[in-house]
């Protein structure tokens, strides 16, 4: 699928503003996940391709996906990020996409870890192009080898093709266990188009044993915070569910491959897979503003680790960063 194309610091006191002075500065200094590094520690960072989705494998290791198209066979599609807690070094290693797939992936935009596993993941393409692609890949990562368990299809609501460039664009995926055999998959339509002006949540049930997936015809429109008042905000560019069931999302402004980008990380609502409508939405609530970057991946905090983000900054590559803890919690 082809790519489709508040006053200074006076925000609410409980809103954190992250301002990018230069990409070099932010890639030279970092804070790690489980053991903090002194703020003056120099960090050796490998250049990372743009991150279109991210999921935690362990306390300091992440699986990331890249949005290479099917006509770009030599570009990376998967990678591992290893955050060295003592040195602060961020190591990136490209992973080979499984040859057993029907074709190489086309525009991967989301990844979530299969619940109750440490090395199984669902990788989601953004949608269909000419009624092709539109797949989710269930994979298993064994050391640094990727094995395809199976692939299955996304729901097709609106195709993308040469004459219609405003079809489905799923940029977020998240999943939780329903029972020992079934998981709930949430998909986030990014919005920001004439057809889909706002974000949309869709969902389905996936059986791990049979591979059967049943997509619901129901949907939930999502209005993301828009502190800049732009008309084409991409309301959902990433999704993640934390250990308490809170659904976090990112939204972004994307004026083109050279930016300047702007993003917000916000609380969407609470997930309960036992309900007919599995997400209880909250009023759009900004938790972090990330200026200068296009956030396309969110990893919810768990086990005392901070929430972190991955960015797809197009011509500038990508970065991973933990976000600072706030003196506020989601509502009860």
Task: Round to the nearest angstrom and report the end-to-end CA distance of the chain.
Answer: 41
Q: For residue 302, what pLDDT band results from cuts at 50, 70 and 90?
A: confident
Q: Tell me the pLDDT of the chain averaged across its residues.
A: 88
| pLDDT above 90: percentage of residues in the chain | 78
Residue 198: predicted pLDDT: 96
| Phi (first) and psi of residue 234, to 5 degrees | -85, 105
pLDDT digits (tens, 9 = 90+) for 157-174: 999 999 999 999 999 999
Q: How far apart are CA 277 and CA 27, in angstroms?
A: 41
H or E element that contains 25: helix 23-28
Residue 42: predicted pLDDT: 53
H or E element that contains 28: helix 23-28
Please name the residue that has the structure tokens 């590559």. Answer: 317
Domain that holds residue 288: 16-322
List b or e across 216-241, with b for residues whose CB sees 16 or more CB atoms inside 10 angstroms: eeeebebbbbbbeeeeebbbbbbbbb
> How many helices (H) and strands (E) are present in the chain, helices listed first?
1, 23
> Considering the domain boundaries, does residue 3 fall inside one?
no
pLDDT digits (tens, 9 = 90+) for 101-155: 999 999 999 999 999 999 999 999 999 999 999 999 999 999 999 999 999 999 9
Residue 20: predicted pLDDT: 39
> Considering the domain boundaries, does residue 282 fall inside one?
yes
- Among 46-50, 71-75, 160-164, whose mean pLDDT is lowest? 46-50
Cβ-in-10-Å burial (0-12, 13-18, 19+) of 91 comes to middle
> Considering the domain boundaries, does residue 2 fall inside one?
no
Q: Omega of the bond prior to 260 within 30 degrees of 0, cis?
A: yes
> Considering the domain boundaries, does residue 23 fall inside one?
yes
Residue 28: predicted pLDDT: 36
> Considering the domain boundaries, does residue 296 fall inside one?
yes
Q: How far apart are CA 31 and CA 21, in angstroms?
A: 17
Most confident among 3-7, 57-61, 311-315 (mean pLDDT):
311-315
For residue 154, what is the domain's CATH number?
2.115.10
> Considering the domain boundaries, does residue 78 fall inside one?
yes
Q: How far apart are CA 237 and CA 252, in angstroms?
A: 7
Domain total in the chain:
1
> Considering the domain boundaries, does residue 215 fall inside one?
yes
| pLDDT above 70: percentage of residues in the chain | 85
Residue 306: predicted pLDDT: 87
pLDDT digits (tens, 9 = 90+) for 249-280: 999 999 999 999 999 999 999 999 999 999 99
Q: How far apart are CA 169 and CA 43, in angstroms?
A: 35
- Spell out the alpha helix ranges (H) of 170-274: none
- CA distances 292 to 56, 80, 295, 306, Å, are 24, 24, 10, 21
pLDDT digits (tens, 9 = 90+) for 190-199: 999 999 999 9
Q: Are 28 and 40 in contact (CB under 8 A)?
A: no
The model's pTM is: 0.87
Residue 74: predicted pLDDT: 96
> Considering the domain boundaries, does residue 11 fall inside one?
no
Q: How far apart are CA 155 and CA 135, in angstroms?
A: 9
Q: How far apart are CA 170 and CA 200, in angstroms?
A: 9
Overall average pLDDT of the 88-99 stretch = 93
């Amino acid at each position: 699928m082809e790519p489709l194309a508040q006053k200074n610091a006076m925000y609410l006191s409980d809103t954190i503003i992250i301002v990018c002075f230069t990409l070099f500065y932010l890639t030279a200094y970092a804070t790690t996940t489980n053991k903090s590094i002194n703020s003056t520690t120099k960090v050796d960072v490998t250049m990372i391709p743009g991150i279109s989705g991210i999921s935690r494998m362990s306390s300091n290791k992440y699986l990331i996906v890249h949005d290479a198209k099917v006509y770009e066979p030599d570009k990376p599609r998967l990678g591992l990020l290893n955050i060295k807690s003592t040195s602060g070094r961020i190591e990136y290693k490209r992973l080979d996409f499984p040859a057993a797939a029907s074709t190489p992936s086309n525009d991967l935009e989301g990844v979530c870890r299969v619940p109750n596993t440490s090395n199984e993941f669902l990788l989601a393409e953004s949608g269909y192009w000419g009624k092709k692609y539109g797949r989710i890949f269930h994979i298993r990562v064994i050391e640094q080898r990727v094995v395809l368990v199976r692939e299955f299809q996304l729901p097709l609501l609106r195709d993308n093709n040469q004459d219609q460039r405003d079809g489905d664009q799923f940029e977020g995926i998240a999943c939780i266990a329903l029972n020992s055999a079934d998981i709930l998959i949430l998909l986030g339509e990014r919005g920001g188009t004439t057809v889909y002006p706002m974000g949309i949540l869709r969902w389905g049930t996936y059986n791990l044993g049979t591979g059967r997936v049943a997509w619901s015809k129901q949907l939930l429109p999502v209005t993301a915070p828009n502190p800049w008042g732009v008309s084409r905000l991409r309301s959902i560019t990433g999704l993640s569910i934390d250990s308490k069931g809170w659904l976090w999302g990112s939204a972004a402004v994307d004026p083109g491959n050279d930016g300047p980008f702007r993003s917000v990380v916000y609380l969407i609502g609470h997930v309960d897979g036992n309900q007919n409508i599995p997400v209880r939405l909250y009023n759009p609530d900004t938790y972090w503003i990330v200026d200068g970057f296009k956030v396309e991946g969110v990893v919810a905090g768990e086990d005392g680790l901070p929430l972190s983000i991955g960015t797809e900054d197009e011509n500038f590559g990508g970065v991973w960063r933990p976000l600072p803890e706030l003196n506020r919690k989601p509502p009860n």
